[in-house]
C-alpha cells in the first residue's frame, strides 16, 4: 500500500519546511518538499533531501545499550584496531545490547540512589536542538525532570543573546515575514548565511532582485550569499554594534530618519541622537574595517531606497557583546520607519507569534511540588566547568537527549574531562553513536521525525504544522515523549500528565488565549501548514497590497494561499507601534538594559578576545568556528551521502597571513590557543580577510586527535542572555610538524 504523509522538518533551522514522505508497504521510499507550503514551496535543502539515507542508515542506534568497554572515543577505536571512524561496527565493541526493561530499571535505580545521597539536583538534563518539535523538544521530558526535582538547564547555547537584544528594543520576537522580502528594494543580509542556513528565503530575494532590488551582505566570511551579492562588506568579527551606531550617526545627522514614526512609536530618540555622535564613520571604520565612505553610502542607501529590510541572523550575537550588537541593529528600522512598509523592517526570530500553552506542556508546577522551590539552574554553555568544578551539589548524573555536547559545547577539552569521570552516570538518548555516546553508560535508541508525531512551529516564518508519523519506529526506537513517559512510570510518578497521549498533548499546547491562535486546531494542522491568524487580532493590515498581492489581481484583498490556510495579508507587526516593551514603544533607551549594567541606549566595546580587545595582543588571529552549509551543527556529519557534499577539516586563511607563516594551500597546520589545538588542512581561498581564520564544526571523533574546534572556544558568556561566544576567539596558526 502506498501513501503520502505530511510532515514537517524538525531540525534547528528557521525554515521548518513542509515535507511529504511517500510510504510504500511501511517503508519510506521518497522525501520531498510540500509544494503547498507558501514559504518553503516544495523544495528541501540538500541534506534533508538525502534523509532516507539518515533514517535507514546502518549506523542508527536501534536498541538500548549498556557500556562494557571504557569511556572515550580512543578506547572504542583502539579496541576495534581501526581509525576513528564513527561507525556502529567500531562502536559495537564497547556495547552490550540490553532490553528496555533493563535500561529503564537501571536508570531509575541509579537516579534514586543518587537522589538519596546527593539530592535530586545532582541530576542534570541536557538537551537542545535535535528536534524543535513542541512535544519532543520540551514537554514530557520537562514534566519528568520537574517532578524529579532535577537541576534546570539554561538553554542558551544558540540564540539567547540575540533574543535579549532584539526584545530590548521590540519587546517581542516578531519581524518581517519571508514572503515580503520579494517586495523589498534594499535587502541587507547581516550575519546571515542565507544559502547555508536559511535557503528558503533565497527565492524571495531572487524575486526582489529581478525587480531591481539590491542585496548587501555584511559578514566576515565570504559565504555563498556574499559571493552573489550586489555589494559585499566584509566586517571584522564582533564590531557590528559600531557599524549600526555609525549608520545611525549618518542617518540621524543627515535627517534621513522618519521623525513622525520616531515621535509616535519610540522612546529615547534624544539619547540615541546624542549617543551616535560618538560614532562618526571615520572612527567606526577603524574597528569594522569598512571604509568610512562605504559606511556613509550604506546608511544613505538603507534609509532612502525603500522598502529596505534587514535579515539579521545569529552570527553577530555569538560574540561577547552580541546582545548589544543585536540591539543596535534592531534600532535601524525603528528610526527609518521601515516597519510601516510591506517589504520593510527586520527579521531575526519570528517565534514570538506562536503562543503555545507551554505551562501545560512543561508543567513547571511539578518542580514546586517536588522541591517546594525552584531547582537550581545550570547554564548549558558551562558544562565543562560544571562537570569538573560544581560542588553544591556535584552533578552525578547527566541525561543527554536532542544534543551532542561532546561536539557542540565550548571548551571541549573540559567537557570531555568531565564526561570521562568514572563516577558520573551518563545516559544518552540518540539516533546515532555520536561524540557524546562515547561517554555514555547507557545509550537509548531515538526515533527520527519519520517515526513519531509532533507539533512544529518555525522561527523563520509564521506557519504552524503538525508533523504526522510516516513509518513505525525502527528497531526498538522510542521518541523522547515515550522515553520520559516510561521513565516516569518506573519512578512511580502517578500524575495524570504522564499518561497523556500525543494528541492530547498537541491539543493542550494549542489551547491558548492568544487571538493569533484562534481557529487553529489539530485537525487542520494534520492536513498541512496553517498561518497564524493575524486577522483575528486587530493588527493593522495595509490598505494597498505589495507586488505579490497586485499580481494576484486584488490590491489589498485577502488572498488565500491554499485551502487549509487562513487568507494571507501581509503582516506588519509594528506598522503602528504595537511593541511589547514595558513602555509599549520601541525602546531606543531601555531601563532593563541599564539594569544589566550596560549602556541603556547602545554602545560599542571591542570583545576582549579580538584584535582590538584587551587580550588583542596575546594572539594575532580571530577564529570563526562556523557551521557547515551541508551539516546542521553536528547532525548529518556521519551520513556518507551528505559528507560527499562538504569538504571538512579545513582551516581557511588569507594569502597574506598564510605567507607570513610559511603556509601554502593544502599544508597541514596547527591552530591553537591556551585552551586547545587542532590539526587541519590550510585552505587559502579568499573567504576570509587578513586577521581572521575560519574552521567548521564536526564530530570530534572524525578528526585526528578526537578534537572538536570547540576545544579552542571559551566558556565566556555574552553581555545579555548568557549565550556562548563561539565567534570571539583569538588563535595562532603554524605549520604542523610531522610527529617524528
Ligand X SMILES: Nc1nc2c(c(=O)[nH]1)N[C@H]1C(S)=C(S)[C@@H](COP(=O)(O)OP(=O)(O)OC[C@H]3O[C@@H](n4cnc5c(=O)[nH]c(N)nc54)[C@H](O)[C@@H]3O)O[C@H]1N2
Shortest distance in whole angstroms from residue 453 CB to ligand SF4: 17
Interatomic CA distance for residues 284 and 5, integer angstroms: 53
Handedness of CA 59, 65, 71, 75 (dihedral sign): negative
| Number of residues near ligand X (by CB under 6 A) | 61
Interface residue with ligand X among 176, 184, 197, 605 (CB under 6 A) is 197
Q: In the window 125-144, what residues touch ligand X (CB under 6 A)?
A: 128-131, 136
Question: What residue 156 binds from Mo ion, ligand SF4, ligand X, none (CB within 5 to 8 A, per partner kind)?
Answer: none
How does DSSP assign 672-729, residue by residue?
E-SS-EEEEEEE--SSB-TTEEEEE---GGGSGGG--GGGG---PBPSSTT-B-TT--
Using a 10 angstrom Cβ sphere, with 0-12 exposed, 13-18 middle and 19 or more buried, the burial of residue 261 is buried
Question: What residue 462 binds from Mo ion, ligand SF4, ligand X, none (CB within 5 to 8 A, per partner kind)?
Answer: none
Interatomic CA distance for residues 619 and 627, integer angstroms: 23
Question: Would you say 7 or 123 has its CB closer to ligand SF4?
Answer: 7
Region binding ligand SF4 by CB under 6 A among candidate stretches 7-15, 346-354, 553-561, 656-664: 7-15
- Residues 6 or more apart whose CB falls under 8 angstroms from that of 120 comprise 148, 149, 150, 370, 371, 375
| Number of residues near ligand SF4 (by CB under 6 A) | 11
Question: Would you say 34 or 609 has its CB closer to ligand SF4?
Answer: 34
Interatomic CA distance for residues 480 and 489, integer angstroms: 14
Per CB under 6 A, does 642 bind ligand SF4?
Answer: no
Question: Would you say 194 or 486 has its CB closer to ligand SF4?
Answer: 194
Question: Would you say 15 or 587 has its CB closer to ligand SF4?
Answer: 15
Scan for cell 568610512, then name that residue: 292
Question: What residue 16 binds from Mo ion, ligand SF4, ligand X, none (CB within 5 to 8 A, per partner kind)?
Answer: ligand SF4
Per CB under 6 A, does 482 bind ligand SF4?
Answer: no
Question: Would you say 415 or 625 has its CB closer to ligand X?
Answer: 625
Per CB under 5 A, does 290 bind Mo ion?
Answer: no
CA dihedral of residues 227, 228, 229, 233 (deg, nearest 10): 10
Q: Which of 243, 251, 326 is nearest to 284 (CA)?
A: 243
Interatomic CA distance for residues 13 and 131, integer angstroms: 10
Question: What residue 608 binds from ligand SF4, Mo ion, ligand X, none (CB within 5 to 8 A, per partner kind)?
Answer: none
Q: Which residue is nearest to ligand X (CB)?
A: 315
How does DSSP assign 133-200, residue by residue?
-HHHHSSHHHHHHHHHTPPEEE--SSSHHHHHHHHHHHSSS----GGGGGG-SEEEEES--HHHH-GG
Contact between 361 and 135 under an 8 Å Cβ cutoff? The reply is yes
Per CB under 6 A, does 16 bind ligand SF4?
Answer: yes
Pattern 173-202, binding to ligand SF4, x per CB under 6 A?
--------------------------x---
Region binding ligand SF4 by CB under 6 A among candidate stretches 12-20, 409-417, 605-613, 691-699: 12-20
Interatomic CA distance for residues 685 and 708, integer angstroms: 22
Q: In the window 31-60, what residues touch ligand SF4 (CB under 6 A)?
A: 44-45, 48
Interface residue with ligand SF4 among 6, 7, 13, 593 (CB under 6 A) is 13
Question: Would you say 16 or 140 has its CB closer to ligand SF4?
Answer: 16
Bridge-partner residues for 632, per DSSP?
A: 635
Shortest distance in whole angstroms from residue 322 CB to ligand X: 8
Region binding Mo ion by CB under 5 A among candidate stretches 68-76, 150-158, 621-629, 722-730: 150-158
Kindly list the distances between the CA atom of residue 343 and the CA atoms of 16, 305, 349, 378, 460, in Å, as whole numbers in the listed order.
21, 12, 16, 40, 15
How does DSSP assign 421-474, residue by residue?
-TT-EEEEEESB--TTGGG-SEEEEB--GGGS-EEE--SSSSEEEEE---SPPS
Pattern 596-635, binding to ligand SF4, x per CB under 6 A?
------------------------------------x---
Question: Would you say 447 or 535 has its CB closer to ligand SF4?
Answer: 447
Interface residue with ligand X among 709, 717, 729, 733 (CB under 6 A) is 709
Interatomic CA distance for residues 19 and 41, integer angstroms: 10
Q: Which three cell numbers stand for residue 370?
A: 517536588
Interatomic CA distance for residues 467 and 135, integer angstroms: 11
Kindly list the distances between the CA atom of residue 273 and the CA atoms of 167, 297, 298, 348, in Å, as whole numbers in the listed order.
21, 19, 19, 25
Q: In the window 503-532, what residues touch ligand X (CB under 6 A)?
A: none
Region binding ligand SF4 by CB under 6 A among candidate stretches 10-18, 187-195, 408-416, 620-628: 10-18
List the end-to-end C-alpha distance of the chain, in Å, as a whole number. 62
Which is it for strands 2-8 and 18-24: parallel, antiparallel or unpaired?
Answer: antiparallel
Q: In the window 644-663, what residues touch ligand X (CB under 6 A)?
A: none
Shortest distance in whole angstroms from residue 391 CB to ligand X: 26
Question: What residue 699 binds from ligand SF4, Mo ion, ligand X, none (CB within 5 to 8 A, per partner kind)?
Answer: none
Interface residue with ligand SF4 among 6, 11, 146, 687 (CB under 6 A) is 11
Q: Which of 420, 421, 417, 448 is nearest to 432 (CA)?
A: 448
Q: What is the largest CA-CA distance in the chain?
A: 75
Question: Would you say 314 or 706 has its CB closer to ligand SF4?
Answer: 314
SS3 sequence, 283-349?
A: HHHHHHCCCHHHHHHHHHHHHHCCCEEEEECHHHHCCCCHHHHHHHHHHHHHHHCHHHCCCCEEECC
Question: What residue 17 binds from Mo ion, ligand X, ligand SF4, none (CB within 5 to 8 A, per partner kind)?
Answer: ligand SF4
Contact between 426 and 397 under an 8 Å Cβ cutoff? The reply is yes
Shortest distance in whole angstroms from residue 633 CB to Mo ion: 7
Interface residue with Mo ion among 86, 107, 140, 158 (CB under 5 A) is 158
Pattern 153-182, binding to ligand X, x per CB under 6 A?
----xxx-----------------------
Interface residue with ligand X among 631, 657, 717, 723 (CB under 6 A) is 631
Using a 10 angstrom Cβ sphere, with 0-12 exposed, 13-18 middle and 19 or more buried, the burial of residue 78 is middle
Region binding ligand X by CB under 6 A among candidate stretches 62-70, 230-238, 279-287, 470-478: 230-238
Question: Would you say 315 or 573 has its CB closer to ligand X?
Answer: 315
Using a 10 angstrom Cβ sphere, with 0-12 exposed, 13-18 middle and 19 or more buried, the burial of residue 241 is buried
Question: What residue 219 binds from Mo ion, ligand X, ligand SF4, none (CB within 5 to 8 A, per partner kind)?
Answer: ligand X
> Cis omega before residue 393 (within 30°)?
yes
Q: In the window 346-405, what residues touch ligand SF4 (CB under 6 A)?
A: none
Question: Would you say 240 or 341 has its CB closer to ligand X?
Answer: 240
Region binding Mo ion by CB under 5 A among candidate stretches 152-160, 371-379, 541-549, 657-665: 152-160
Shortest distance in whole angstroms from residue 165 CB to Mo ion: 16
Pattern 47-86, binding to ligand X, x per CB under 6 A?
----------------------------------------
Bridge-partner residues for 169, per DSSP?
A: none
Interatomic CA distance for residues 446 and 482, integer angstroms: 10
Question: What residue 465 binds from ligand X, Mo ion, ligand SF4, none (CB within 5 to 8 A, per partner kind)?
Answer: none
Q: How would you list the strands of the sheet with 2-8, edge to edge? A: 2-8, 18-24, 27-33
- Summarize as ranges the residues that interact with Mo ion (CB under 5 A): 158
- Summarize as ranges the residues that interact with ligand SF4 (CB under 6 A): 9, 11, 13, 15-17, 44-45, 48, 199, 632
- Summarize as ranges the residues that interact with ligand X (CB under 6 A): 12-13, 128-131, 136, 157-159, 190-193, 196-197, 218-221, 223, 235, 237-238, 240, 313-316, 318-319, 401-404, 407-408, 429-432, 434, 446, 480, 624-629, 631-635, 697, 709-710, 713, 726-727
Amino acid at each position: 500500500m502506498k501513501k503520502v504523509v505530511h510532515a514537517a522538518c524538525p531540525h534547528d533551522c528557521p525554515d521548518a519546511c513542509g515535507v511529504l514522505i511517500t510510504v510504500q508497504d511501511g517503508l519510506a521510499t521518497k522525501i520531498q518538499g510540500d509544494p503547498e507550503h507558501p514559504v518553503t514551496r516544495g523544495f528541501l535543502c540538500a541534506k534533508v533531501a538525502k534523509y532516507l539515507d539518515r533514517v535507514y542508515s546502518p549506523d542508527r542506534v536501534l536498541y538500548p545499550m549498556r557500556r562494557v568497554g571504557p569511556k572515550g572515543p580512543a578506547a572504542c577505536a583502539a579496541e576495534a584496531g581501526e581509525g576513528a571512524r564513527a561507525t556502529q561496527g567500531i562502536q559495537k565493541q564497547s556495547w552490550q545490547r540490553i532490553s528496555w526493561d533493563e535500561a529503564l530499571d537501571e536508570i531509575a535505580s541509579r537516579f534514586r540512589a543518587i537522589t538519596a545521597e546527593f539530592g535530586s539536583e545532582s541530576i542534570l538534563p541536557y538537551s537542545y536542538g535535535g528536534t524543535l518539535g513542541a512535544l519532543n523538544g520540551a514537554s514530557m521530558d520537562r514534566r519528568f525532570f520537574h517532578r524529579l526535582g532535577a537541576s534546570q538547564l539554561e538553554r542558551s547555547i544558540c540564540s539567547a543573546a540575540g533574543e535579549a537584544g532584539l526584545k530590548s528594543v521590540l519587546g517581542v520576537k516578531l519581524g518581517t515575514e519571508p514572503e515580503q522580502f520579494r517586495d523589498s528594494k534594499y535587502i541587507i543580509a547581516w550575519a546571515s548565511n542565507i544559502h547555508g542556513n536559511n535557503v528558503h528565503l533565497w527565492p524571495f530575494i531572487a524575486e526582489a532582485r529581478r525587480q531591481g532590488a539590491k542585496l548587501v551582505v555584511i559578514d566576515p566570511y565570504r559565504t555563498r550569499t556574499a559571493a552573489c551579492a550586489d555589494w559585499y562588506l566584509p566586517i571584522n568579527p564582533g564590531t557590528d554594534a559600531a557599524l549600526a551606531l555609525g549608520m545611525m550617526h549618518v542617518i540621524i545627522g543627515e535627517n534621513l530618519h522618519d521623525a513622525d514614526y520616531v515621535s509616535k512609536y519610540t522612546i529615547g530618540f534624544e539619547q540615541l541622537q546624542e549617543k551616535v555622535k560618538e560614532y562618526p564613520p571615520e572612527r567606526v571604520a577603524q574597528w569594522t574595517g569598512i571604509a568610512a565612505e562605504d559606511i556613509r553610502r550604506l546608511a544613505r542607501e538603507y534609509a532612502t531606497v525603500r522598502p529596505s529590510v534587514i535579515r539579521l541572523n545569529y552570527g553577530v550575537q555569538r560574540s561577547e557583546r552580541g546582545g548589544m550588537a543585536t540591539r543596535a541593529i534592531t534600532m535601524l528600522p525603528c528610526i527609518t520607519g521601515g516597519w510601516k512598509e510591506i517589504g520593510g523592517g527586520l527579521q531575526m526570530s519570528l517565534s514570538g507569534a506562536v503562543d503555545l500553552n507551554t505551562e501545560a506542556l512543561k508543567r513547571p508546577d511539578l518542580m514546586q511540588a517536588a522541591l517546594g522551590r525552584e531547582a537550581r539552574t545550570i547554564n548549558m554553555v558551562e558544562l565543562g566547568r560544571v562537570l569538573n568544578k560544581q560542588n553544591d551539589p556535584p552533578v552525578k548524573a547527566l541525561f543527554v537527549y536532542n544534543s551532542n555536547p561532546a561536539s557542540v559545547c565550548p571548551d571541549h577539552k573540559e567537557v570531555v574531562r568531565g564526561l570521562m569521570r568514572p563516577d558520573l552516570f551518563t545516559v544518552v538518548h540518540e539516533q546515532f553513536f555520536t561524540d557524546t555516546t562515547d561517554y555514555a553508560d547507557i545509550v537509548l535508541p531515538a526515533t527520527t521525525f519519520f517515526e513519531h508525531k509532533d507539533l512544529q512551529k518555525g522561527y523563520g516564518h509564521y506557519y504552524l504544522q503538525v508533523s504526522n508519523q510516516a513509518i513505525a519506529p525502527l528497531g526498538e526506537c522510542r521518541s523522547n515523549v515515550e522515553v520520559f513517559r516510561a521513565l516516569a512510570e518506573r519512578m512511580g510518578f502517578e500524575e495524570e500528565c504522564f499518561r497523556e497521549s500525543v494528541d492530547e498533548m498537541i491539543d493542550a499546547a494549542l489551547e491558548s488565549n492568544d487571538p493569533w491562535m484562534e481557529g487553529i486546531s489539530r485537525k487542520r494542522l494534520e492536513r498541512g501548514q496553517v498561518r497564524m491568524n493575524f486577522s483575528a487580532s486587530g493588527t493593522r493590515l495595509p490598505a494597498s497590497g505589495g507586488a505579490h498581492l497586485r499580481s494576484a489581481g486584488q490590491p489589498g484583498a485577502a488572498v488565500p494561499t491554499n485551502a487549509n490556510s487562513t487568507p494571507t495579508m501581509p503582516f506588519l507587526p509594528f506598522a503602528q507601534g504595537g511593541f511589547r516593551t514595558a513602555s509599549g514603544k520601541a525602546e531606543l533607551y531601555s531601563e532593563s538594559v541599564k539594569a544589566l549594567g550596560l549602556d541603556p541606549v547602545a554602545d560599542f566595546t571591542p570583545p576582549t578576545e579580538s584584535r582590538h580587545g584587551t587580550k588583542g595582543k596575546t594572539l594575532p588571529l580571530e577564529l570563526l568556528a562556523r557551521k557547515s552549509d551541508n551539516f546542521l551543527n553536528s547532525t548529518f556529519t556521519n551520513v556518507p551521502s551528505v559528507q560527499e557534499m562538504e569538504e571538512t577539516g579545513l582551516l581557511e586563511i588569507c594569502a597574506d597571513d598564510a605567507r607570513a607563516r610559511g603556509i601554502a594551500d593544502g599544508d597541514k597546520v596547527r591552530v591553537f590557543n591556551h585552551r586547545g589545538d587542532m590539526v587541519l588542512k590550510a585552505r587559502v581561498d579568499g573567504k576570509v580577510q587578513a586577521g581572521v581564520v575560519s574552521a567548521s564544526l564536526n564530530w570530534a571523533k572524525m578528526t585526528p586527535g578526537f578534537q572538536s574546534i570547540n576545544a579552542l572556544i571559551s566558556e565566556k558568556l555574552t553581555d545579555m542572555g548568557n549565550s556562548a561566544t563561539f565567534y570571539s576567539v583569538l588563535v595562532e596558526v603554524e605549520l604542523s610538524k610531522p610527529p617524528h
